[in-house]
Structure 1
Amino acid sequence: MTLRITDSITIEDWELTEQFVRASGPGGQNVNKVSTAVELRFEAARSPNLPGPVKTRLRRLAGRKWTSDGALVIFVQDTRSQARNRELARERLAEMIRAALVAPKRRVKTRVSANQKRKRVEAKKKRGEVKALRKGPEV
């Protein structure tokens, strides 16, 4: 079952590894018996479907979820259902990749106009004069 991100990008099964572990939190006696939490591992660095710049942005977005061997690990234990946790993990992965697809806008350097600089200096001088007038005459 491949994971479809966009029309041009799909994640193949061999790139994803799922491991089910016991979850903490609510669930009563069930929480001690059933492994409902899912750890989804996506081999992002080795993925042929992601372009280089997208991998770089994805690595920055992932933060601590990115491992040293280039995998993205998503851990979900939100619900008591293993199937629902699995869906949530796949959705979160897809959202993270979609966010990495958007290239940030380049920042255009702007300059402060000479008039603005002049106004700032005049305001500072005026403020200084006001403060100087507060002082009493020196004896």
Structure 2
Amino acid sequence: MYDKDALLQELTFKAVRSSGAGGQHVNKVSSKVELAFNLFESEIFNEDLKERLIKKLQSRLTKEGTLMLQCDESRSQHKNKELVIKRFFELIERSLTVPKKRIPTKIPRAVIKKRLKSKRNLSDKKANRKRPNLD
């Protein structure tokens, strides 16, 4: 479908300082990793795959067609890079999968008969509650 190694070459990474509370370690180490992938300029995907990706990732793309992911779960920059790459490939895989077309099943004849019989029984029960017509 596509070459993962070639796709890795198109990714750009940036290490930045993590935000939020933390000790002295946070203030001096850039452990957060940001991944950027420009979908519009990518040469890995053909036009059909690009259209599908654009449609599925529409809310996550910037106006320039860049997909941005970030990870700051670990204190290790290398671990964060691995995690963000893993997330990126999972996102691409999910976006490229074509859902199966649902084939509606036929309702069995016995089920239809059972439903109609129960409706008839309920109708008869309610009809028997009425006052008899004495004309």
Q: TM-score, structure 1 length as denominator?
A: 0.68
Whose radius of gyration is greater, 1 or 2? 2
Deviation at 1:119, TM superposition (A): 4.1
CA contact (8 A) 1:43 1:72 kept: yes
Once the two structures are superposed, residues 6-65 of structure 1 have per-residue CA deviations (whole angstroms, 9 ceiling, x without a partner) of xxx72153x322222222467521112222111101112221111333334434544643
- Is residue 2:11 matched to residue 1:21? no
2:38 to 35, 39, 43: 43
- The unaligned stretches of length 5 or more in structure 1 are none
Tell me the equivalent position of 2:94. Answer: 99
- Is residue 2:65 matched to residue 1:70? yes
Residues paired across the two proteins, number: 130
CA RMSD of aligned residues (A): 3.2
Q: How many Å separate the matches in 2 of 1:84 and 1:41?
A: 17
Q: How many Å separate the matches in 2 of 1:85 and 1:136?
A: 74
Q: TM-score, structure 2 length as denominator?
A: 0.70
- Is residue 2:75 matched to residue 1:80? yes
- The unaligned stretches of length 5 or more in structure 2 are none
Q: How many Å separate the matches in 2 of 1:134 and 1:56?
A: 63
